[in-house]
Amino acid sequence: MIQELDLAPGERARFISDIHFGHAKALAREPEELGFLLEGCSHLVVCGDLSETRESPCREEGLEKRARFLRMCRDAGVQPVLLAGNHDPDEKAGLLKLQGGRICALHGHALFREVAPWGWEYLKNKQVSRELIAAFPEAEADLLRRLELARAMSVLVPPVYTRSGTHQNKLVRFLAHSAWPPERPVRILLAWLTMMRRMGKFADRFFPEAEVVIFGHLHRRAVSGKKGRRLYVNLGACFRHARCWAADVTPERGVSIRSYTPGGYDGPEEILR
């Protein structure tokens, strides 16, 4: 559940998240579109949700594209590190500790005991979700149990990708997807507004030695952390209505980010530390 990695001098780890191969709203339709991300790094860390691998109509496509992407990594001489997200809970590792734990990476769904409290899977199945949470009382203080809860919650009920009764009007479809029930947009907004504070408390509890925390899950890229304090980087998502960063980390714990799309990098590198 917890993987460790130490970079040697001259190596570079690149972090990405939430590619969602196989999902209808993924921006990268083919793995080859992201080949440029394999240039200039020795390791590629995917902070969860690389592919849709849960039991769903998307699974076959997600598995095939994940396998193809891993072949691309091998052919490029890049070591892939795949962390589990709520859309690919079959990945073994839920947390990566880099350079002795000074840098920690995870998907971010373990922040919430419900995994995605704004998701239809939870909103339509609150009682069974609460029963599962109650079966993991140790998850409040035990990191391994918290990661186990996140994995169990991710496969508790079948994934919901679209609402039934899809309307032809685009506005109606958007409102049905994003704004119904009304609790859904409220929970999304609350998660965005509190994600850095929530991650700070999570890190203090489970990996206080971390100087840098890199995560995804919320599909909203952001950076937080003043000089001399812990740095938090949410990588966003390569997904419709979202934007994404690739973050590079060196053995000296230097951290930089760069915006990208399936067409390539679309902004200059920004040095964070």
User: 113-120 long-range CB contacts below 8 Å, 24 or more apart?
Assistant: 113/139, 113/149, 113/153, 114/153, 115/86, 115/150, 115/153, 115/154, 116/86, 116/217, 117/187, 117/191, 118/184, 118/185, 118/187, 118/188, 118/191, 119/160, 120/160, 120/163, 120/184
| DSSP strand pairing (264-265 vs 212-215) | unpaired
Strand partners, 248: 14, 256
The span from the CA of 11 to the CA of 100, in Å, is 16
Would you state the structure tokens that stand for residue 17, as one six-digit string?
A: 């998240």
- Domain 2-271 falls in which CATH fold? Purple Acid Phosphatase; chain A, domain 2 (3.60.21)
List the domain boundaries for the chain: 2-271
Report d(CA 238, CA 245) in Å as an integer: 9
Distance of alpha carbon 118 from alpha carbon 115, whole angstroms: 9
Contact 32, 3 (CB under 8 A): no
Residue 158: is the preceding peptide bond cis (ω within 30°)? Answer: no
Q: Digits of tens for pLDDT over the chain (273 positions)?
A: 899 999 999 999 999 999 999 999 999 999 999 999 999 999 999 999 999 999 999 999 999 999 999 999 999 999 999 999 999 999 999 999 999 999 999 999 999 999 999 999 999 999 999 999 999 999 999 999 999 999 999 999 988 765 555 546 554 455 455 666 789 999 999 999 999 999 999 999 999 999 999 999 999 999 999 777 899 999 999 999 999 999 999 999 899 999 999 989 999 999 998
Cross-strand partners of 252: none
- pLDDT for 171 equals 45
